[in-house]
Amino acid sequence: MENFFSNPDRADSLASLFSQAPIALAMLMGDNFVIKNANTQCLNFWQKGSEVIGLPILEALPEIATQEFPGILKKVYETGTSYNGSKFKTFIEKEGILSTYYFDFIFAPVFSEHKIIGISLVAIDVTEQVVNEIKLRENEFLFRELMEISDFSTAIYKGENLIIAFANDQMLQTWGKTADVIGMKLEEAIPELQGQPFAEILRTVLKTGEPYIATEDKVDLFVDGRLQTYYYSFSYRPMRDESGQIYAIWNMAVNVTELVEARIKAQKGIKEYRELAEAMPHIVWTANNQGKLSYYNENLLKLLDITEEEIPELDYKTIIHPDDLANFKRSWEIADLEKKSFELEFRVYDKTKEKFIWFLNRATPVFDDLGTIIHWIGASTNIDEFKILSAQKDTFLGIASHELKTPLTSLKLYAQVLERMLRKSGDEKNAEFAKKMDVQIVKLTSLIGDLLDVTKINSGKIYLNEEAFDFQKLVIETVEDQQMSTSCKIELHTKPVGMVFADRDRVGQVITNLLTNAIKYAPNTDKIVVEIKEVSGNLEFSVQDFGIGMPEDKKDRVFEQYYRVSGDEQTTFPGLGLGLYISAQIIERSHGKIWVNSVLGKGSTFSFILPQIEL
């Protein structure tokens, strides 16, 4: 059968048509495939000029020698069977560099008198199309890989039937399904979604093209053999093709079940807390780190006779007694700086009673993960009746103590006269009894003195007769006096430290109290250590004992009124628990500071400082 190209005259007459064709055309003659003709389109594909016409194909395009083309050409020439190549990958040399191209082509045999004389080539460059397809596949691969490793649950649904085209492992776990559901309709794969709004929302997104974003939506899913409730934050976003048509919905979801359940539980706890707070007789409140109230129970509104709308503008200066305001501010500032709780008594104006009421106020800081105070939790207890009773008690104690001093003075005088008379008559035994009576009267007088001091302190009437005096000299005198009345050795470490301006007798009272306490609370040791030194412009006094000590959580309470340190079950120590309270008040009113360091079972060190002065 004669090929259309077998007649050379016909082939020549079509030369002009070849050159103008929009596709690549060429004629390869003989078994060495000499290029008889090639149009411009073909020469451009080969990156060659017309000089290759008349050359064997492998000489014109040596780079194809190691590719598949020589074998394909030979097979077509020998068998007479055409060869169709689709998106065939080809390497063609351009400016000395091999570049990759893709072609759709046909190698067809050319016959003359039933004999193959050559091969015709028809080719279309599809490089751009193939490269785009490769990029698309790569992008799709990267997209799928990204979705697979993502922490988000991800799925793609196609068409009105919501066919599951893709679902990563996270989404499959969310559904409680396996990869078998891919390719299924969403509502068939997950039948429990019927009756829930999600399929309808997806179809609305398909129809309108408007994304849908949900926060903490509830969904019921059949997982692990039972229907369970979960909460998800998710989005449905339309996916469009090149023409802008929506063909699928991209679903991304995050499981927030634990977060929502924790918040529900917290809200329930807050509700219970608020109900409890409202049922309490106290004022319960919280404040931010700036001191602004963020929560309060009804009792606060009743006390101040204001509305909730007025709380944000509440100024503490308008409700706290002017005499207590400075101490309130200072206590809160110290607690904020040291990041610790505080307890403080101050008076608040009760608008309904039109007078100031005493409250005991406690506040505890709440911290974030970085240790920063984020808010305060506090309670205020009405102690006005207690303060009134306490004042009445102090008045009674003051009167009683004052009235007892006169008869005690007389008793002490009688005891001393009796002791001298008995010793003069030679009755030593009864003289000792009289001496012991005198000692007990001294102790009772000391206790009465403490009670008087407490009543003066509580009423703000304690008087300090301040003067400049040599601190070292006072310590030495006091230690010598105490050493005469005890067998415990007082080891003194002292040197000249300068002058202080305070009440010499009251400071001596503090030193005496600390020394007697050290001896009393160290009954099984044979010494205490006293030291004075200069520290940063202050004079520091300390007394160390090696006695019972006290727990860390109790040591700061020893300066409270009536608080007493107890020993073990077999050991008790007499006293009213007033000495250290009085000492602390004297030191603080002398512009000093008092503290204690203690280890249970090993002893305590009581210290105080007073400002040093220069004369």
Q: What is the pLDDT of residues 444-459, one digit of tens each?
A: 666 666 666 666 556 5
Whether residues 397 and 365 share a domain: the answer is no
* CB-CB contact of 170 with 153 (8 Å): yes
Residue range 576-581: average pLDDT? 72
The CA-atom distances, in angstroms, between 138 and each of 126, 142, 150, 154, 164 are 18, 6, 18, 19, 21
Q: DSSP class of residue 63? A: G
Give the count of beta carbons closer than 10 Å to the beta carbon of residue 60: 20
Is 527 contained in some domain?
A: yes
Residue range 325-343: average pLDDT? 87
Residue with token string 């706890």: 269
Work out the percent of the chain whose per-residue pLDDT is above 90. Answer: 20
Q: Each residue of 362-399: pLDDT tens digit?
A: 888 988 888 888 888 888 888 888 777 766 666 655 56
Bridge partners of residue 356, in order along the sequence: 349
Give residue 119's Cα distance to chain centre. 78
Q: DSSP class of residue 425? A: T
Whether residues 491 and 593 share a domain: the answer is yes
Nearest one of 341, 248, 234, 348 to 300, comparing CA atoms? 348
Nearest one of 190, 187, 162 to 175, comparing CA atoms? 190
Whether residues 313 and 365 share a domain: the answer is yes
Bridge partners of residue 248, in order along the sequence: 158, 239
* CB-CB contact of 120 with 108 (8 Å): yes
Is 216 contained in some domain?
A: yes
Q: DSSP class of residue 56? A: B
550 confidence band (pLDDT: 50, 70, 90): confident
Is 145 contained in some domain?
A: no
Whether residues 517 and 544 share a domain: the answer is yes
* CB-CB contact of 249 with 209 (8 Å): no
pLDDT value, residue 540 = 93
Domain that includes residue 485, residue range: 466-613
Whether residues 556 and 585 share a domain: the answer is yes
Residue with token string 């090929």: 3
Provide the whole-model pTM. Answer: 0.40
For residues 74-93, one letter each, b for 16 or more C-beta atoms within 10 angstroms of the residue's C-beta and e for the rest, the string is eebbeeeeebebeebebebe
Is 492 contained in some domain?
A: yes
Q: Residue 196 phi/psi, 5° resolution?
A: -100, 160
Pairing of strands 489-493, 527-535: parallel
pLDDT value, residue 473 = 93
Strand arrangement, sheet containing 293-296: 293-296, 283-288, 373-382, 355-367, 342-350
Whether residues 488 and 547 share a domain: the answer is yes
Is 28 contained in some domain?
A: yes
Q: Each residue of 64-83: pLDDT tens digit?
A: 888 888 999 999 999 999 99
243 confidence band (pLDDT: 50, 70, 90): confident
Strand segments (E) across 62-198:
83-94, 97-112, 115-125, 153-158, 163-167
Whether residues 606 and 537 share a domain: the answer is yes
Residue 524 carries which side chain, given as an amino acid letter? N
> For the domain that residue 189 is a member of, what is the CATH number?
3.30.450.20
- Give dist(CA 581, CA 457) in Å, integer: 10
Is 405 contained in some domain?
A: yes
Asked whether the predicted pLDDT for residue 443 surpasses 50, the reply is yes
2 confidence band (pLDDT: 50, 70, 90): very low
Whether residues 481 and 594 share a domain: the answer is yes
Q: Domain boundary at 260, 291, 309, which?
A: 260
Burial of 355 (C-beta count, 10 Å sphere; 0-12/13-18/19+): exposed
Whether residues 600 and 511 share a domain: the answer is yes
Sign of CA dihedral 4, 10, 11, 14: negative
Q: Residue 5 phi/psi, 5° resolution?
A: -95, 5
pLDDT value, residue 256 = 86
> For the domain that residue 548 is a member of, what is the CATH number?
3.30.565.10
- Give dist(CA 506, CA 492) in Å, integer: 21
pLDDT value, residue 390 = 67
Least confident stretch, 85-94, 426-435, 523-532, 569-578? 569-578
For residues 521-549, one letter each, b for 16 or more C-beta atoms within 10 angstroms of the residue's C-beta and e for the rest, the string is bbeeeeebbbbbeeeeebbbbbbbbbbbb
Asked whether the predicted pLDDT for residue 15 surpasses 60, the reply is no
pLDDT value, residue 212 = 93
State how many domains the chain has. 5
Nearest one of 347, 361, 346, 366 to 294, comparing CA atoms? 366
Q: Domain boundary at 378, 412, 443, which?
A: 378
* CB-CB contact of 39 with 122 (8 Å): no
Is 604 contained in some domain?
A: yes
Q: Domain boundary at 98, 131, 164, which?
A: 131
Length in residues, the chain: 615
- Give dist(CA 579, CA 514) in Å, integer: 9
Whether residues 191 and 94 share a domain: the answer is no
Max distance between CA atoms of the chain, in angstroms, equals 173
Whether residues 234 and 367 share a domain: the answer is no
Asked whether the predicted pLDDT for residue 129 surpasses 50, the reply is yes
Whether residues 506 and 452 share a domain: the answer is no
pLDDT value, residue 541 = 95
- How does the average pLDDT of the chain come out, rounded? 82
Q: Residue 266 phi/psi, 5° resolution?
A: -65, -40
> For the domain that residue 454 is a member of, what is the CATH number?
1.10.287.130
Residue with token string 């610790």: 340
- Give dist(CA 314, CA 106) in Å, integer: 91
- Give dist(CA 508, CA 512) in Å, integer: 6
Give the count of beta carbons closer than 10 Å to the beta carbon of residue 368: 10
Is 136 contained in some domain?
A: no
Residue range 204-226: average pLDDT? 89
For the chain, first and last CA: distance in Å?
136
